[in-house]
Amino acid sequence: MRKLIRGAVAAFLALPLFLTAPSSAQAAPNPIAMTSGFYVDPNSSPAVWSAANPGDGRASAIRNSIANTPMARWFGSWSGDIGSATSSYVGAAQSANKLPILVAYNMYGRDACGGHSGGGAASPSAYASWIAAFARGIGSRPAVVVLEPDALGDFNCMSQAQITERQNMLINALSQFRSTAPNAWVYLDAGNPGWVSASTMADRLNAAGLGLARGFSLNVSNYFTTSENASYAGSVNQALGQRYGYSKPFVVDTSRNGNGANGEWCNAAGRRIGTPTQQGGGGAEMLLWIKTPGESDGNCGVGPGSTAGQFLPEVAYKMIYGY
């Protein structure tokens, strides 16, 4: 890590937990206003599958209802050189005058407690290098970034030392985006309403550097309704305001919440796609398709035998109609 960044992070960690949100934390220009709408990934898994299977009776519905909707591209260890990967993706969106949505998903010790999406960087220092290159790849171009889904909900099997280590990795990541990707709005992931209490999540967000982010993300890869997420966000912000003197905007993953939640999180049956990606809605700053509908959560539920991230056309097709 560069000395300048290391020094800045060390100075930050020497301070007490945020009493107020830094005034510059929301200084980035509005990336939505810098573009003509959200970017549709031509190489998303449903787009690739539809193109490769034009004779399949499900292809047209999957293409029209899912593949043509703006959604996030996830980046992790599978992405190769991460700086080149994010630069190429954001560059393609810029050429189309559209706003890309990216997910950084390579936290060291990722999904340590759940296990279905385990993996991530080999060490905290490896993650620091990876996330710095991720941010540099975006550079000055507009983008929306969701930072490390699961990272703050996944504490129940971790020691305090591991939790502190994770918080410091997130603080450093947010510092990298602020310094090298000034036109990116970064949302630190805050789980979902059924995972951790709003009071606890407010403390975890603050300790992980939320004051350096644009806001927080909710419901990634889950099914809770937008109104349930908005209520939860309100409670998180109330706790943030009472304890630390600030509140933040939030975004909601609506890709699979059209039928709400049924108590299951892993490839739950009977779910349905939700409101397509848009600015605003239900109190959220943005409603975003973050999880790709039809991509498996792992070997579970209606995706037996699948691996996390694998595209399952039958699951995608059923999510269009909610059965």
Asked if residue 275 has pLDDT above 90, the reply is yes
Decide: 63 and 50 in contact? Cβ < 8 Å: yes
Q: What is the pLDDT of residues 8-27, one digit of tens each?
A: 434 333 333 433 344 444 45
Tell me the Cα Rg of the chain.
19
30: in domain: no
Give me the CATH number covering residue 227. Answer: 3.20.20.40
* Tally of domains in the chain: 1
154: in domain: yes
Closest of 174, 168, 322 to residue 257, by C-alpha: 322
10: in domain: no
31: in domain: no
Question: pTM here?
Answer: 0.91
Residues spanned by the domain of 291: 36-321
299: in domain: yes
Whether 150 is catalytic: yes
Q: Which of 41, 111, 150, 203 is catalytic?
A: 150
Phi, psi of 74 (to 5 degrees): -90, 140
Q: What is the rounded average pLDDT of the residues 250-258? A: 98
Q: Which run of H or E residues covers position 37?
A: none
**How far apart are the C-alpha atoms of 151 and 139, rounded to whole Å?**
24
17: in domain: no
278: in domain: yes
Q: What is the pLDDT of residues 134-173, one digit of tens each?
A: 999 999 999 999 999 999 998 989 999 999 999 999 999 9
Specify the pairing of strand 143-147 against strand 184-189.
parallel
Query: Which amino acid appears at position 153 of this protein?
Result: G
pLDDT for the residue 74: 98
Instruction: Report the range of poorest mean pLDDT among 47-51, 108-112, 260-264, 309-313.
Output: 108-112
Helix (H, G, I), strand (E, B) or coil at 244: helix
Closest of 274, 183, 185, 267 to residue 229, by C-alpha: 274
**How far apart are the C-alpha atoms of 293 and 101, rounded to whole Å?**
15
15: in domain: no
Q: What percent of the chain has pLDDT over 90?
A: 86
**How far apart are the C-alpha atoms of 134 and 180, rounded to whole Å?**
10
